[in-house]
Amino acid sequence: MAMNTNYLYLLVFAALIAETDIEVNLSSIIASNAYVSVLLGIAATKAILIAMFYQHLKYEPKSLSSWVIIGLVIASLLMGLSFVQLHVGHP
């Protein structure tokens, strides 16, 4: 398992570096609000790669991922609802 795993780690690493490169060069390609979403999307895929392979979550029981997933949902609630407070239907 060791050799294959090491190659996998290197592969993930290569993907992470490539994505970072894309992020930095993106500004010249895309403009406007979609840019932020694209960047966050790329960041999310990097995060998922690190979580699944470096933190081994792909091979752990699904219940173990639940801690951070619940955290993400709750944090998104805070950000989402407070955004709505200020920018939707201001009296």
Partner 1 sequence: MGQRFAYSAKRWLYTTNHKDIGILYIITSLFLFAAAGVLAITMRTQLSAPDNNVLTANVYNQFVTVHGLLMIFWVLSPLAFGFANFVIPLQIGCRDLAFPRLNSMSYWFFLFSGVMMILSFFFGAAPDLGWTLYSPQNTGQFSPAIGFNLGAGALILMVVSITMSSINFLVTMFKMRAPGLKLRYMSVFPWAILVTIFMMLYAFPSFLAAVVLLYVDRAFGTVYFSSIQGGSLLWDNVFWFFGHPEVYIVLFPAIGIIADIIPTFARRPLYGSKYVIGSLVAAALISFVVWGHHMFVTGIGIASTKLYTVTTIAVSLPFDVIVISLIETLGFAKLRLKAPALFALGAVANFIVGGITGVFLASVALDYALRGTYFVVAHFHYIMVGASIIGLIGGLYYWFPKITGRMYDERLAKVHFVLSMIGFQVLYFPMFLLLDMPRRIVTYSPQTDWGLLNLTATLGGLIFGGAQLLLFYNLYRSSRVGPPSGPNPWDAWTLEWALPSPPPPHDFDVIPTFQADGTIRFGSGPGLPNGLGHSNEIGNPNGSSVSNKTSPLHHEGLSPWPVLMAFAAFIFFLGLTIGKPANPQPVSYQPFWPLIADGVILGIISLFGYSRETFTVHEDTHVESWPFKQVPNMKLGIWTFLGAEVIFFGVLIGSYFFVRTNDAAWPPAGSLFEIRNGFAMTLVLLTSSLTAIMALASARAGNRNGLIASLGGTLVLGAAFLYIKAGEWFSLGASGVFQNYSLPATSYFITTGTHGVHVFAGMCMTVYLLAKAIKGKYLHGDHTTLEHFGLYWHFVDIVWVFLFPLFYLI
Q: Smallest gap, in angstroms, from Cβ of residue 38 to partner 1?
A: 9
Q: Cα(38)–Cα(69) distance, rounded to whole angstroms?
A: 21
Q: Smallest gap, in angstroms, from Cβ of residue 4 to partner 1?
A: 11
Which residue in the block uniquely carries the two structure tokens 């790329």?
42
Site of interaction with partner 1 (CB under 8 A) = 2, 5-6, 9-10, 13, 16-17, 20, 23-24, 26-27, 35-36, 39-40, 42-43, 46-47, 50-51, 53-55, 60-61, 63-64, 67-68, 70-72, 74-79, 81-91
Q: Which residues contact residue 41 at a Cβ distance below 8 angstroms, ignoring those fewer than 6 apart?
A: none
